[in-house]
Structure 1
Amino acid sequence: MARVLLLEDEADLRAEVADFLHSEGHQVLEAGNVAEFCPQIDMADIAIIDVGLPDGDGFDVAEVLRKSHPQIGTIMLTARGSIDDKIKGLKRGADQYLIKPVRLSELSAYVAAIGRRVARTTWQLNLIERCLHAPGGHSENMSALEMTLLELLARNAGQVVHRPAIAKAFGTNWIDYDERHLDQLVSRLRRRWQNHTGEKLPLRTEHGQGYSFCVDIEVL
């Protein structure tokens, strides 16, 4: 099921929608304003956005979201029901524009339909977000050094990337590089991924050679 980020400033409505989507099997994150919404974006597959917000405009939020996170599905849920508003919402980035009051069963059907479209089927490394996404929906933000390593491995997925090439990507002369730093970096990354997701990272140690990312991965 989808991870839904619900941006709605009316607390009672937000709770009602969140409870219903929970009952349908979705994971729901809640935000009452744009300030609460933005830090949670990376955890969402679908965003449901109201237009009238206390600290922003839902149309602007949808447009920014489409540019910064094009993989996230967007549903606008608002009382503004004119055809001009609907066209504006769709042009600014919404996949669907629903008018309040809406049947929750209908909203859930749209969430399920968009969820099927945005579901990740492969690993993804997003260079802009600096984030690694797993097919099952798990994701983790990476440090700059971790991103350098992962991008090198991702662009050579299924192949051994030798230690001197990794050191060069780090901007370091291999002769002067302490290999223990690389091993510690990989160890911390694997452990953090395991602790946060409960899954193993498909980053393989190629003994005496280097490392490889041993599954297909898409670089965005």
Structure 2
Amino acid sequence: MNVQLFIPCFIDQLYPQTAFNMVKVLEKAGCTVTYNAEQTCCGQPAFNAGFQREAKEVCTKFLHDFSGSEYIVAPSASCVGFVRNYYPKLFDNSSHHNEVKELQKRTFELADFLVNVLKVEDLGATLHTKATYHDSCAALRECKIKAEPRALLARVKGLELTEMNDVETCCGFGGTFAVKFEPISMGMADQKVTNARQTGAECIISTDHSCLMHLDGYIRHKGLPIQTMHIADVLASGW
């Protein structure tokens, strides 16, 4: 199966190894992965900040960069959720209307794609640690992803996964929310990390580096004995 790789801005700039690990995982699952080096942003930051016209220009470029019929897979439910749920509104009753409908059907977050499209759950990964999983708001509410990451993690040898309290509660990032409402955002991060540590976990795993970036910043600031890890990095461990 041919797959187009979409790498979000912050992963490209801050966590490139996660992108490389995602390629390893997809290739091990039998995919031929292509990467369009001309790709940029999905348009979500501008849209969320209220700049819809500017966002639409970026989104139009995304449509051009990812034209074709192949599946588009990204290590971010946040970006995937934006493409699936907001592109139809931006391009409603436009010349791109039908193109966007097709784009919705072929754009997937990594865990969702592995489990529901490729029907693969065991990637042969090994990671000896105790961990807990964080449901990102975008994965849970916009992409309806809940069981898929857990099914993949359950098959990682050596990984002990324990659910935290209030697992579906937001971590407090929310993009510019963390900047505009920093005290609230930090309070939410504190609650999330506290719940994670109460499980005895050494690691917080998620589909979204945006959440993990926020939590890791809080963890480092407080000097806490817990780390964060993207699910792509977990699935690429030990082989």
**Is the TM-score greater than 0.5?**
no
TM-score, scaled relative to structure 2: 0.30
| Larger strand share, 1 or 2 | 1
Max Rg structure: 1
